[in-house]
Amino acid sequence: MRLGRIASPDGVAFVSIDGESGDMTAREIAEHPFGTPTFTGRSWPLADVRLLAPILASKVICIGKNYAAHIAEMGGAAPADPVIFLKPNTAIIGPHVPIQLPANASPVHYEGELAVVIGRPCKDVPAARAAENILGYTIGNDVSARDQQQADGQWARAKGHDTFCPVGPWIVTDVDPADLQVRTEVNGQVKQDSRTSLMIHDVGAIVEWISAVMTLLPGDLILTGTPDGVGPLEDGDTVAITIEGIGTLSNPVVRKGKS
């Protein structure tokens, strides 16, 4: 199932997105998408509505240094345990919403990532039972201001700007995350091309590690780390991240304050 969130002439709603490219329909879900969704009977052609970020997360937990090739390109060392940090939920935007480059940050990098969506409250989850607590998977872009990351010695400001967490286009509930292609293009040129099978810590290990620290709530997002090939975004660019079995998340890039 593909679960999304839309803005229609009738308001904002969670939906199930049915059909194939060019002929998709958004069926309205009553209340929320967790558990077994029920439907209101209303639907719209997907072309007639606007896709929003597919979930409202209480928090966004990110994994750093989770692909060996990315660690090498950044000049670091592979950690024994997952490295976690947080993005504020105010950084979340949906498909086609502009990423805004701050005037005081350069370079600002894209980071294409598989994102996990938590499906129910959970704590101290063993890796072998992680799937029981996952609603599905979507695409995330961990946008990062590298100069601020280096200057601050921690990552909250560099990764926490408004618009620095594009997510979407929808959540897929029946995909296996073990070995999916992750590809990032900027202006149509491939910049990242890797597979989730190359993650140092897989989804189960990540959920176990994070849930030992904090309670995870329905809708919480976990960004699982980026492969090698990160690079700068400039005013006027378009960045598109495609993950096998999920879809493509595309966002334009603008300089903040530019009219």
* Domain termination residue (choose one: 52, 72, 91): 52
Same domain, 111 and 226: yes
Pairwise CA distance, residues 154 & 251, whole Å: 26
Q: Which pLDDT tens digit goes with each residue over 127-178?
A: 999 999 999 999 999 999 999 999 998 999 999 999 999 999 999 999 999 9
Q: Which pLDDT tens digit goes with each residue over 191-207?
A: 999 999 999 999 999 99
Which amino acid, one-letter code, is at 208? E
Same domain, 230 and 106: yes
Same domain, 71 and 174: yes
Same domain, 77 and 173: yes
Amino acid 259: pLDDT: 47
Amino acid 256: pLDDT: 85
Q: Which CATH number characterizes residue 35's domain? A: 2.30.30.370
Summarize the confidence of residues 8-25 as an average pLDDT. Answer: 92
Same domain, 109 and 186: yes
Domain holding 10, by residue range, is: 2-52
Same domain, 42 and 65: no
Same domain, 245 and 133: yes
Are 82 and 209 contacting, i.e. CB atoms less than 8 angstroms apart? yes
Same domain, 185 and 225: yes
Amino acid 54: pLDDT: 98
Closest C-alpha among 142, 139, 174, 140 to residue 158:
142
Same domain, 126 and 166: yes
Instruction: Kindly report whether the global pTM for this prediction surpasses the value 0.75.
Output: yes
Q: Which pLDDT tens digit goes with each residue over 33-92?
A: 999 999 999 999 999 999 999 999 999 999 999 998 888 888 888 889 999 999 999 999
Q: Which CATH number characterizes residue 104's domain? A: 3.90.850.10
* Domain termination residue (choose one: 19, 35, 52): 52
Mean pLDDT of the chain: 96
Pairwise CA distance, residues 112 & 141, whole Å: 5
Distances (CA, A) of 140 to 3, 109, 114, 167, 221: 15, 13, 6, 5, 9
Summarize the confidence of residues 90-100 as an average pLDDT. Answer: 98
Total domains present in the chain: 2
Same domain, 27 and 78: no
Q: Which pLDDT tens digit goes with each residue over 214-251?
A: 999 999 999 999 999 999 999 999 999 999 999 999 99
Same domain, 105 and 47: no
Percent of the chain scoring above 70 in pLDDT: 99
Q: Which residues contact 14 (CB under 8 A, 6 or more apart)?
A: 3, 4, 5, 28, 29, 31, 32, 33, 37
Please state the three-class secondary structure of the chain as a single string: CEEEEEEECCEEEEEEEEEECCEEEEEEECCCCCCCCCEEEEEEEHHHCEECCCCCCCCEEEEECCEHHHHHHHCCCCCCCCEEEEECHHHEECCCCCEEECCCCCCEEECEEEEEEECCCECCCCHHHHHHHEEEEEEEECCEEHHHHHHHCCCHHHHHCCCCEEEEEEEECCCCHHHCEEEEEECCEEEEEEEHHHECCCHHHHHHHHHCCCCECCCCEEECCCCCCCEECCCCCEEEEEECCCEEEEEEEEECCCC
Same domain, 98 and 172: yes
Pairwise CA distance, residues 90 & 128, whole Å: 32
Percent of the chain scoring above 90 in pLDDT: 90
Confidence of residue 257 (pLDDT cuts 50, 70, 90): confident
Pairwise CA distance, residues 174 & 1, whole Å: 7
